[in-house]
Structure 1
Amino acid sequence: MVARSELRRILRLFHPYRGRLAVVGLLVGLSSLVGLASPFMLRAVLDDALPHGRTGLLTLLALGMVAVAALTAVFGVWQTYMSTAVGQEVMHDLRTAVYARLQSMPLAFFTATRTGEVQSRIANDIGGMQSTVTSTATSLIANFTSVFAAVIAMFALDWRLTLVSLAMLPLFVWISRRVGSERRRITGARQQQLASMSAIVEESLSVSGILLGRTMGRSPALVDDFAHESRGLVDLEIRANMAGRWRQSTIGIVMAAMPAVVYWVAGLTSAAGTPLVSIGTLVAFTTLQAGLLRPAVMLLSTGVEVQSSLALFTRIFEYLDLRPDIAEPAQPVALPARAPGAVRFDHVSFGYDADRKVLRDIDIIVPAGTSLAIVGETGSGKTTLGYLAARLYDVTAGRVTIDGIDVRDLSFADLAATVGVVSQETYLFHASVADNLRFAHPDATDADLHAAARAAQIHDHIMSLPDGYDTLVGERGYRFSGGEKQRLAVARAILRNPPVLILDEATSALDTRTEREVQAAIDALAVGRTTITIAHRLSTIRDADQIIVLDRGRVAERGTHEELLSRKGFYADLLVRDTAPVAA
């Protein structure tokens, strides 16, 4: 039942291209019908033209055979092009659908899933089904049509020999189904092994992975781990290729013996003085029999391939069936063109699961254009609270509003245009500086880029590079220092120009001098915006309009820097630890 439901789902992938598939079917049918003429012309040559010396008929029959071969070739090329085009369109649809679904998944999905696993689904699984998608439909139509037409023609020649030829087909179908089921199981295991290898490659051969492996002296161990996974893949590949090979060889032997059986039966009847068929009919029949056996074997092989590829489709459908926890509203509420940016955490609670609450009854008002700083011990929920405003997670109780509108009622586009995030770890693509900046604003002019970079105090450094704004930043931006990457992130946020800005410990990993430089860029960015700063170093948030101290997911204190310091509570203790000198 599962296989049938999956097959129906696979067939639905081809539904948008049913018109072109109909043309392919027509071409296949025409090719099969035209090809059937050759055995009958051969019989006429052997039984009529040659014995009676009819050279004119012989010439026409010879020209007819050549014409049949030419037409079959033309139909074959045309159908191959159209079926390949349809298959590639289906592959494109699958890749795009999987990528789009993954783009809609919440942040929690990616924190729990290895990047290599995701890459393997798109590259290895979809890539592995290419031959099935591009050629299976045509192969099924062509071979089924050929088998059907050959059986009809064989019955027309001699029904007795036809029944002898078809007697073993049910056994062959049963063997092929068994082989297909076995290969499907092996294919699933093989794709999982490929995913594990992709994860190892992605993690250990990234810049960070190489640095960690080299500095920890673990490079030989990583090679051993990869070799172990690769050896497992070798075993699975051998098993996949050898699964049912002896049983299928039996099919080939029996099918090859069938023409010999026909000759043997015909010979016995001739020796008995009652020839079953004429020589021409016998040759024509065995020619048709070959035309039956070849597509029959290919049909069985195609069935095996389809069953094997079901494991790939199952893995792809698993991703397509994922349901995002964070969904765009069916009827989103529109924000004003330039929203003021007042933020409210209205009795917000949040937990990654039902048994683990991270935030409890948080109630905070951040007026438009003011600044809020969130401080607390590691694990107190600071980053999570900030991410709720950007709707990277959804609250489990209460609501987060911007200008009185629940963020869950905003379209993703409006929310992204309203809330900007600058995090501690700046992600840069392996592209030029200009391309990385334009990721925030694709239509930005060069003048816009320069203005944003100047505001972020990074323009002069970019211009000092050999290729200026066309300089490649390298894998994950490793050609730039931490402070330079952070200033590029600030410039990117300036280009985005959001009314609400979330700064997630944007300077905590920087040295004091670089921190001052980046903080100056951030201060320029924060002017006129509602700013929520998740702070590790308390020196950066002294001037915040209000400061919230979180303790185990609850608001322990709130006020200005001076007010909190005078209370000598949580905030004062954090400040003492933050400014205490490090023991030598």
Structure 2
Amino acid sequence: MTEGGALKKVFPEKPLLWIRVAKLLSRDPRRLFASIAVILFSVVLTMVSTVLLKEVVDVALPQHKVGLLSSLCAVMLVANVLTSLLTVITARLNNRMGQNLVHALRKEVYAATQKMPLEYFTSNSTSEVQTRIASDIGGVGNVLTFAAQGIIGAVASLLAAAIIMVIMSWQIALLSLTLAAALNMLNNRYAKRQRRLAHSQQERVTDMMQLVGDHLSLSGILLGRTMAREDWQLANFESLSLKAADEAWKQRMAGRTAFAIISMTLSLMPITVYWAAGTLLRDVSLGAVIVITELQARLSMPIQQLLQLSSEIQASGALFERIFESIDASANQKPSPVAVRSTGDASVSSISLDGLSFRYPGADDRAVDSISMTLPVGGMVFIVGASGSGKTTLALMLAGLLVPEEGSVRIDLSDGSTVGNPGSVVSLVPQESVLFNQSIRENLAFGDPSCTPEAMADALRVVGLAHTVERTTRGLDALVGERGAQMSGGERQRLALARSLLSGYPVMVIDEFSSGIDKETTESIFANLRDAGDGRTLIFITHRLPSLHDGDLVVTVAAGKVVAVDPVGVSSPAV
């Protein structure tokens, strides 16, 4: 697979990319236009104050017109105070809009990743998504917050200053604007390099996060210590960190020479005006010279702002490309099954598999090959077979989590309707228990947020964890640790089973839940499940059969095919 996996594709054309960014900014038009209006008003106030300075120097001061001087100074004072207040208002509007857009992007990337088919998660790193949600979107925060308004404000300031300068001295205005154009060309050259480096640097960060997730997890620490590989783990991290640091250094240093030249040129412009006014342009008044140099200072700010924004926007282009790739990725994949949990009163009346087949991408043989059978409802079904025989793949299709390559899973309800997606009535307890770094209560409530403490206690009793939880000092509020690190492997599996029981699905597919549990406890859990008598259909994927009872069905799978169906005690549907 190419670098970046399913997310890697040809970058969008730049114009299309920036059109999409512009559409993103337009999602909050009220704040956007309010911010632009405030910025333009600030520009007007600033220019009014600057123009009035000429009248102060050329008229009010030389002619000692106290009334005019007082009026001009009062207007300039009010303009400066209002400009400062408007700066605060602009900051509030921009930051609120920017953070709303950052939140929206994070949500879209998360939602798009949720929709990816299961095959994506088996071949792509979680750290790639983490980097895009945390680092990439965080990296474009300033562009989303300040870019559009900053460009408009800078352009408005630049145009206003240029017009006033042309009125006072077109020669100096022409020189200043020519220099501005030359400086912009110099800046663009380095900005493009920053963009390339930004993309490369984010890839290095992704690699580093992947290593940290693998080797600084509890499992990674245990593995490193038991195999005396801690030095190797550290050296590997050091190598990736150095590469990331090197890319970051190159990105930050790119354009520093250009910025130094730009800053030096802008600082020399007032000196050039003084010399020109005293030698070549003697008809320019003292007030005009002061105003022109003031405007040049004000001109240098929007020029530098535009140049800085240009660099940031170019660099953020690589991040926007990665973000939009994530959002668009699910649209380029085979749609993943999306189940809506059934909330009706109808019960499951039949479960049948018709020609069920599935082949993983790149595999030569089918993992499940043409399985057709009917499963009994309301009892226990045991699917057995060697590792790699297709049991787990079959479980995923029964739960509606994998779309069959051929065939279908048909589940009929007692009201005569047929379930569109098996996931509406089937829950899966996966072989690898998934627990969140929260309390036992919160992990159980994930199955049913409305369940009561009494219901939780009953589910824990069924799986043989009630006494274990009671012995903890915090009971249901005890933390399970990252990935359930505070619990044993068997306890994690049983807690995951209790959570699924609380979810209330009428059909449960349970994949190897007893692999970390001793035989006596396993038998006790099976007895409790039978005693519960709630009419659920329980389908177990297992290597180890418990004591069987009348009505149980044992299905043997080999090489993706059903090779035996053995009902226990009474006649059951066969292949």
TM-score by length of 2: 0.91
> Which residue of structure 2 aligns with residue 494 of structure 1?
501
Residue number among 371, 383, 386 corresponding to 2:395 in the alignment: 386
**Which residue of 2 is the match for residue 362 of structure 1?**
371
State the match for 2:3 in structure 1.
none
Q: CA deviation at 1:353?
A: 2.2
Kindly indicate whether the alpha-carbon contact (under 8 Å) linking 2:400 and 2:423 is maintained by their aligned counterparts in 1: no
1:231 and 2:235 are equivalent in the alignment? no
Instruction: Report the identity percentage.
Output: 34
**Range 301-310 or range 359-368, more displaced:** 359-368
Q: TM-score, normalised by structure 1?
A: 0.90
The AA in structure 2 aligned to 1:460 is H
Secondary structure in structure 2 of the residue aligned to 1:167: helix
The offset of 1:523, in angstroms, is 4.1
- Are positions 1:241 and 2:252 aligned together? yes
Matched with 1:41 is 52
* Secondary structure of 1:276's aligned partner: coil
1:312-331 matches, cutoff 5 A: 312-323=319-330, 324-327=333-336
Equivalent AA in structure 2 for residue 488 of structure 1: L
Q: Mind listing any 5+ residue stretches in structure 1 that lack a counterpart?
A: 565-584
Q: Distance in 2 between matches of 1:329 and 1:429?
A: 22
Structure 1 stretch 63-72 or stretch 506-515: which is displaced more?
A: 506-515
* Greater alpha carbon shift after TM alignment, 333-342 vs 281-290: 333-342
Aligned to 1:58: 69
SS, match of residue 277 in structure 1: coil
What corresponds to 2:436 in structure 1?
Answer: 429
Q: Which deviates more, 381-390 or 261-270?
A: 261-270
- Which of 115, 118, 126 does residue 107 from structure 1 map onto? 118
Gaps of 5+ in 2: 1-11
* Distance of aligned partners of 1:141 and 1:179 in 2 relative to their CA distance in 1, 3 Å threshold: same
Contact 1:147 1:295 in 2 (8 A): yes
Could you report, residue by residue, the CA deviation over 1:179-234 in whole angstroms, capped at 9, with x for unpaired residues? 12100110001111111111111111111111111111111111111111111111
Residues 1:528 and 2:540 are matched in the alignment? no
Q: Distance in 1 between matches of 2:207 and 2:547?
A: 43
- Counterparts of residues 145-160 of structure 1 (less than 5 Å): 145-160=156-171
Number of the residue aligned with 1:483: 490
The 1:341/1:290 distance shift into structure 2, 3 A limit, reads farther
Between stretches 487-496 and 71-80, larger displacement belongs to: 487-496
Correspondence for 1:92: 103
Of residues 299, 308, 328, the one that matches 1:301 is 308
Aligned positions of 1:428-507 closer than 5 A: 428-507=435-514
Cα drift, residue 327 of structure 1: 4.1
User: What does residue range 205-284 of structure 1 map to in structure 2 within 5 Å?
Assistant: 205-269=216-280, 275-284=282-291
Q: Deviations over 1:519-549 (max 9, x none)?
A: 4444456752222211111346676633222
RMSD of the alignment, in Å?
2.3
Determine the C-alpha separation between the residues in 2 that align with 1:60 and 1:286. 23
**1:342 aligned partner:** 350
Of 418-427 and 307-316, deviating more is: 418-427
Distance 1:517 1:175 in 2: 77
The answer to whether structure 1 residue 70 and structure 2 residue 77 are counterparts is no
Question: Is the alpha carbon distance of 1:329 and 1:99 closer, same or farther for their aligned partners in structure 2, counting shifts above 3 Å?
Answer: closer
Partner amino acid, structure 2, of 1:471: A
The 5-angstrom pairing of residues 53-202 of structure 1 reads 53-202=64-213
Q: Does 1:289 align with 2:296?
A: yes
Residue by residue over 1:285-320, the C-alpha shift from the partner in whole angstroms, topping out at 9 and shown as x without a partner, is 111121112111110110110010011111111110
Amino acid at match of 1:166: L
Q: Deviations over 1:550-580 (max 9, x none)?
A: 221122222236899xxxxxxxxxxxxxxxx
Q: C-alpha displacement at 1:74, in angstroms?
A: 0.7
Cα shift readout 1:415-463 (whole Å, capped 9, x = no counterpart):
5451122233222111111111101000112222222222333222211
Distance 1:214 1:540, change over 3 A: farther
Residues 1:521 and 1:335: Cα distance change in structure 2 (over 3 Å): same
1:231-257 Cα shifts (integer Å, max 9, x gaps): 111111110111122123222222222
Partner of 1:509: 516
State the alpha-carbon separation in 2 of the partners of residues 525 and 436 from structure 1: 22
Amino acid at match of 1:252: S
Letter in 2 for 1:5: L
Which residue of the other structure, out of 406, 410, 424, is the alignment partner of 1:397? 406
**AA at the equivalent of 1:352:** Y
Q: Secondary structure at the match of 2:28?
A: helix
Q: Is the CA contact 2:368–2:390 (under 8 Å) kept in the aligned structure 1?
A: yes
3-state secondary structure, aligned to 1:342 = strand
State the Cα deviation string for residues 464-521 of structure 1 (Å, max 9, x = none).
Answer: 1101111111111122222322222222122112111101111123333343344444
Task: Choose from 386, 393, 407 the match for 1:377.
Answer: 386
Change (3 A) 1:520 1:486: farther
SS in structure 1 of the partner of residue 434 of structure 2: coil
Structure 1 residue 59: Cα displacement:
1.6
What is the alpha-carbon distance in structure 2 between the residues aligned to residue 207 and residue 175 of structure 1?
Answer: 51
Counterparts of 1:158 and 1:485, CA distance in 2: 80
Equivalent pair of 2:428/2:508 in contact (CA under 8 Å) = yes
C-alpha deviation, 1:136, in angstroms: 1.7
CA distance in 1, matches of 2:56, 2:365: 85
Q: Which moved more, 1:89-98 or 1:258-267?
A: 258-267
| Counterpart-to-counterpart distance in 2, 1:490 and 1:246 | 62
Secondary structure of 2:356's match? strand
Distance in 2, Cα, partners of 1:27 & 1:254: 31
- TM-aligned CA deviation for residue 376 of structure 1: 1.5
Q: 1:111 to 1:55 in 2, by over 3 A?
A: same
Between the aligned partners of 2:519 and 2:337, the Cα distance in structure 1 is 41
Indicate how the Cα distance of structure 1 residues 510 and 244 shifts in structure 2: closer, same or farther if over 3 A, else same.
same
Residue 20 of structure 1: which of 31, 34, 43 is its match? 31
Bigger mean CA offset, 83-92 vs 207-216? 207-216
SS at match of 2:557: strand
Q: Secondary structure at the match of 1:306?
A: helix
The answer (yes or no) to whether the contact 2:401–2:423 under 8 Å persists in 1 is no
Relative distance call for 1:356 and 1:264 in structure 2 (3 A) is farther
1:403 aligned counterpart, secondary structure: strand
